[in-house]
Amino acid sequence: MFADYTMTELTSIFAMQGFAGLSLFSIFVLMALGLAIIFGQMGVINMAHGEFMILGAYTTYLTAQVFESLMPGLYGGYFFVAMFLAFVVTFALGALVEWLMIRHLYHRPLDTLLATWGLSLILQQTYRSVFGAREVGVSLPDWMMGSIAVTDLVEIPINGIFVMVLALLIAFAVYLLMYRSGWGRKVRAVVQNRPMAEAVGIDSGRVDRVTFALGCGIAGVAGSAFTMIGSTGPTSGQLYIVDTFLVVVFGGAQSLLGTIASAFTISQAQSTMEFFLSGSMAKVLTLLVVVGILMLRPQGLFAMKVRR
Amino acid sequence: MKANRFFDWLMSREGIYYVLLAFLLVVIFPLALDAFRLNMIGKYLTYAFAALGLVLCWGRSGILSLGQGIFFGLGGYCMAMFLKLEASSPENTAIQSTPGIPDFMDWNQLTALPWFWEPFHSFSFTLIAVVAVPALLALIIAVAMFKRRVGGVYFAIITQAIAAILTILIIGQQGFTGGVNGITDLRTLMGWDIRTDEAKTALYFVCVGMLFLCLIIGAWVMRSKLGRILLAMRDQEDRVRFSGYDVASFKIFVFCLAAMFAGIGGAMFTLQVGFMSPSFVGIVPSIEMVILCAVGGRNSLLGAIYGALIVNAAKTFFSESFPELWLYGLGVLFIAVVLAFPDGLAGLYRRYVMPLESKLPALLRRNGGNAPTLPVEETK
């Protein structure tokens, strides 16, 4: 399959597809970070994670609409407001869902899966009723348009770079929060030994709620970033949920670094193969390899040593 | 002796429920419904096969598979491939550039039948494949996972991913599988037209017969020592392992059995509905099969069948009259069945109707004696 191309062409193809894969990588990282917190730390399977992301995307869309009609002069900066709002909205919904539903199910992880699937159906139908079945998109501010030409054959779009930088910044922030803050220490304490954590005075119920809400909030920011590179429809979130779960499991559920590494591997593999095979076969092959590796190494790439 | 024991069981309280279900499916539905509605009931019942498998696999053994659609689809596609080959005889397909191959292959510029389609000329091979292909894939998945002691949530996610992969594969390989439309325009089974009302009614009875076969196998598994080990494994896996049982083998067995049930269901689906498409394979149908089982009661085989009937009937009713409401209804159903009544309809029945039932003969006889009550199974 490589024989038809010259060496320079191949290099450019790999570079182009590599950069194309980076936007998929950004989506994976942003979605997987929230999931890694909720699933990795709390053991809750949140099937509605994609819908939380889409909620963030719709919030961004609404913010963009408001800016466009009321203060077009400030349109260049709407994104930062939108991102903040998306975080607040999804954080609040996450906290509500945790209080109503998830907290009753902590000892039944398989049932959280079913309940959150039900939630995802309800949210999807709500989006469909409110925003319509058609996909909506935001117009990018001027400074995000265009692309940087690296060589004659390789061009990188600016919005892609922006989203990737954003993804990495958020990943770094999550790292600081989980491993360098007092709150993160509490979360990890509750994960490792709930009764002992409670005994030393940690309000584990509150930690659970904030952790879940935070995971959802990150999904909201992910949705905000998602509007930069794709359009938003009621079922856009569901498209990514299976891939994202594979990313989290493949990386080793409790490792943030593993999550990023596996997001990178999967997105790059898929994107590179897409050039040579059809899109669907590239995806099939990538997922098959991931599932195959997971069957051989169920604990994922970067596993925390746990006694079972 | 054996026949006698079977008769005793039939007359026992549990036996009565089976007889009632048989009466409902074999007598009441065919008499009360026209051929079109009866065919729809038959379609609902094909999902009950998958739900039965889930009772054994999830309710009894604690293995949640989000991939029953894979096996349902494989069984259905095996049957559809046979029927499609029969429908694409060289005479029927004379206008194609390559006569004798299915029409969608011709549209996709294929000039010869792919090798894996060849054996499906044989009906006996197809019948074996309907159970063997799902069982084989289930075996591969289960051996790889359970021998490494992967279970629970991870197993659910992996099976879901495989369901996604299979759907993408079927849609992507249009020339070999019929793509997103699936395998359509199926006409005859061994020369017998399956599209007539009579044929559909006959197939309904075949479906009910197969369902009862699976039901009896399932009931036998639940009542046997094997069933007790499965239950023990669900609640205290380590203790079962330390007692010297090979936990993985039991899990592999029950997962394969569930896959076979789903495969039979898929084949019956193809026969009764007349086509098979990837929309019955993927993530959404797979998880809907779980909700059928959960609504009926994850520990009750009979519950699974009633669950399949009721949920699907509700789905048809709502999507015909209030399409907007159905997704809300389904969503609420998922949440309610998990939060409010985890034992499903069977649990509600055991809790509220059974006490009344035991009072009934006593009231009739007016002697005030208490009939014995069945123990209520607890869910973990």
CB contact under 8 A, A249 and B157: yes
Owner of token pair 């197993």: B155
Residue A118: its chain B contacts at CB < 8 A? 330-335, 338
Give the per-residue pLDDT at A68.
83
User: Considering the domain boundaries, does residue A5 fall inside one?
Assistant: no
Q: Which among A270, A291, A297, A299 is the top mutation candidate for probing chain B, defined by the most B β-carbons within 10 Å of its own β-carbon?
A: A291
- Res. B242 pLDDT band, cuts 50 70 90: very high
User: Considering the domain boundaries, does residue B336 fall inside one?
Assistant: no
Q: Which among B64, B70, B157 is the top mutation candidate for probing chain A, defined by the most A β-carbons within 10 Å of its own β-carbon?
A: B157
Q: In this complex, which of A119, A249, A288 lies closest to B154 when CB atoms are compared? A: A249
Return the number of CB contacts < 8 Å for A and B: 112
Owner of token pair 């994202």: A244
Residue of A nearest to B149 (CA): A298
Give the per-residue pLDDT at B78.
94
**What percent of chain B has pLDDT above 70?**
93
Distance of alpha carbon B121 from alpha carbon B270, whole angstroms: 17
Cβ partners under 8 Å of residue A8, min gap 6: none
Burial B90-108 (b: 16+ CB within 10 A, else e): eeebeebeeebbbbbbbee
CB contact under 8 A, B157 and A45: yes
Residue B327: its chain A contacts at CB < 8 A? 121-122, 124-125
The answer to whether A120 faces chain B, any CB pair under 8 Å, is: yes
Residue of A nearest to B63 (CA): A110
User: Considering the domain boundaries, does residue B373 fall inside one?
Assistant: no
> Cα distance from A190 to chain B (closest Cα, Å)?
20
Residue B57: its chain A contacts at CB < 8 A? none
Q: In this complex, which of A111, A119, A280 lies closest to B171 when CB atoms are compared? A: A280
- Res. B368 pLDDT band, cuts 50 70 90: very low
A window 43-62, beta carbon within 8 A of B: 43, 45
Give the per-residue pLDDT at A12.
76
Long-range contacts of A71-79 (CB under 8 A, 24+ apart): A75/A141, A76/A141, A76/A142, A76/A143, A77/A141, A78/A141, A79/A141, A79/A144, A79/A224, A79/A228
Distance of alpha carbon B264 from alpha carbon B50, whole angstroms: 9
- Res. B380 pLDDT band, cuts 50 70 90: very low
User: Considering the domain boundaries, does residue A258 fall inside one?
Assistant: no
CB contact under 8 A, A129 and B168: no
CB contact under 8 A, A110 and B153: yes
User: pLDDT by residue (tens digit) across B210-241?
Assistant: 999 999 999 999 989 999 999 999 888 889 99
Owner of token pair 């325009």: B185
Handedness of CA B260, B261, B267, B270 (dihedral sign): negative
Terminus-to-terminus CA distance in chain B, angstroms?
Answer: 37
Burial A96-117 (b: 16+ CB within 10 A, else e): ebbeebbebbbebbbbbbbbbb
Q: Which of B361, B151, B119 is nearest to B255 (CA)?
A: B151
pLDDT, mean of residues B192-204: 89
DSSP A136: B
Residue of A nearest to B324 (CA): A125
Give the per-residue pLDDT at A49.
92
pLDDT, mean of residues B112-138: 92
Cβ partners under 8 Å of residue B159, min gap 6: B65, B66, B67, B70, B141, B286
> Cα distance from B157 to chain A (closest Cα, Å)?
7
Q: Which among B315, B338, B379 is the top mutation candidate for probing chain A, defined by the most A β-carbons within 10 Å of its own β-carbon?
A: B338
Give the per-residue pLDDT at B345.
87
Query: Comparing A8-12, A290-294, B99-103, B263-267, which segment has the lowest mean pLDDT?
Result: A8-12
Residue of B nearest to A299 (CA): B150
Q: Which domain holds residue B118?
A: 33-285
What separation in angstroms does the CA of A248 have from each of A211, A243, B66, B146? 17, 9, 18, 20
User: pLDDT by residue (tens digit) across B269-289?
Assistant: 999 998 999 999 988 899 999
DSSP B193: E
The complex's ipTM?
0.86
Q: How many domains does chain B have?
A: 1
Distance, CA of B40 to chain centre: 15
Spatial contact of A238 and A52, defined as CB atoms under 8 Å apart: no
Q: In this complex, which of A105, A120, A294 lies closest to B158 when CB atoms are compared? A: A294
Q: Which of B14, B90, B53, B56 is nearest to B308 (CA)?
A: B53
How much is the mean pLDDT over chain B? 87
Residue B58: its chain A contacts at CB < 8 A? 110
Residue B333: its chain A contacts at CB < 8 A? 118
User: Considering the domain boundaries, does residue A127 fall inside one?
Assistant: yes
Distance of alpha carbon B75 from alpha carbon B130, whole angstroms: 4
CB contact under 8 A, B161 and A125: no
Query: Comparing A4-8, A61-65, B47-51, B152-156, which segment has the lowest mean pLDDT?
Result: A4-8
CB contact under 8 A, A246 and B331: no
Give the per-residue pLDDT at B374.
46
User: Considering the domain boundaries, does residue A297 fall inside one?
Assistant: no
Residue B162: its chain A contacts at CB < 8 A? 291
Specify the pTM.
Answer: 0.87
Q: Which domain holds residue A59?
A: 22-238
Give the per-residue pLDDT at A153.
63
CB contact under 8 A, A280 and B150: no
DSSP B119: G
Residue of A nearest to B238 (CA): A308
User: Considering the domain boundaries, does residue A183 fall inside one?
Assistant: yes
CB contact under 8 A, B338 and A308: no
Q: How many domains does chain A have?
A: 1
- Which parts of chain A sit beneath pLDDT 50? 307-308
Residue A110: its chain B contacts at CB < 8 A? 58, 64, 152-153, 156
Distance of alpha carbon A209 from alpha carbon A186, whole angstroms: 13
Q: Kindly state the tokens that stand for A239.
A: 């498209």
User: Considering the domain boundaries, does residue B167 fall inside one?
Assistant: yes
